[in-house]
Amino acid sequence: MIGVTTPEALRLFIDRLLLRSSLSVAQRAVITALPGRLSKVPACHDIILPGEHTDHACLVASGLVARFDTMADGRRQIVAFYLPGEMCDLHSVPVPTSGWGLEALAGSTLVFVPHGALREAASDPAIAMAFWRDTVTDGSILAKWAANLGRKQALPRLAHLFCEMGMRMEGRGLGTRTEYDLPITQAQLADAAGLTSVHLNRTLKALRHEGVTFAGKRVRIADWAALTHLAEFDPVYLLLPEREAALGTALRWRA
């Protein structure tokens, strides 16, 4: 994790793209050859602030990054998590002024890839389509978050977050859907779930009765089927290959 190089990080990004798009060997080589500046960022460090102009996109090589918005009184709402291999702001290539910020939640290694190089890579229609699909995936997850934040009670909302992160972590080879590291503080989790720290604390306690623990920055889920039922979690919005999504559905109905 510590010694990750730019090509290694780009290969993680290709793995992510290949979940939803097919790319030839030559097209993969174009992406692996992208220039990138490696940067280590400490936990709780802002990478980009709302309204800032940027000339590069930000790929997570290790750690965990959040997209957030800030209220006038300083409170934050986290609206997305980005795992290793995910490009936080590929959409900044066509629209380089951000309407939101990026923060490293845990100590993270990032690769800053110049917009110009990404634009050039996207002159290949298959790569452009893969990039497009990647940003659509971001949009799909964001829509689900909006619905959860707006309409779900605290318990199913937090349960949904744990289900989503389990599926995504497993998809990236970072643990399994029922046991994975979530390297964030309770305050950051509260910002993502749109809860006060007190309400989060209470909701985590209620989740423990359901066999779900978040302790030592590790999530453990005793009964996946029960949790997906409680959360009303259907992984279809993650736009994963049918095989993986079907596995999630099958597990859900096993209850």
Partner 1 sequence: MAHFYINVYNSETTLDDVGSDFPGLPEATAEARSAAADLIREEILAGGQLQRHHRIEVEDENRRVVHVLKFDELIAD
Measured in degrees and rounded to the nearest 5, phi and psi for residue 251 equal -65, -35
Are 120 and 30 contacting, i.e. CB atoms less than 8 angstroms apart? no
Enter the tokens of residue 201: 């604390």
Neighbouring residues of 79: CB distance < 8 A, sequence distance ≥ 6: 66, 67, 68, 69, 100, 142, 145
Q: Which ranges in the chain belong to alpha helices (H)?
A: 6-18, 25-32, 115-121, 125-151, 154-171, 186-193, 197-209, 224-231, 242-253
Q: Shortest distance, CB of residue 187 to partner 1, whole angstroms?
A: 6
Between 194 and 248, CB nearer to partner 1 = 194
Between 123 and 153, CB nearer to partner 1 = 153
Give bridge partners of residue 113 from the DSSP assignment. Answer: 57
Between 40 and 199, CB nearer to partner 1 = 199
Q: Shortest distance, CB of residue 196 to partner 1, whole angstroms?
A: 4
Q: Which of 53, 151, 205, 243 binds partner 1 (CB under 8 A)?
A: 205
Between 67 and 152, CB nearer to partner 1 = 152
Between 170 and 191, CB nearer to partner 1 = 191
Enter the tokens of residue 53: 């102009």
Give bridge partners of residue 82 from the DSSP assignment. Answer: 65
| 201 touching partner 1, by CB under 8 A | yes
| 197 touching partner 1, by CB under 8 A | yes
Residues 134-193 contacting partner 1, CB under 8 A: 153-154, 185-187
Contact residues for partner 1 (CB under 8 A)? 153-154, 185-187, 195-199, 201-202, 205
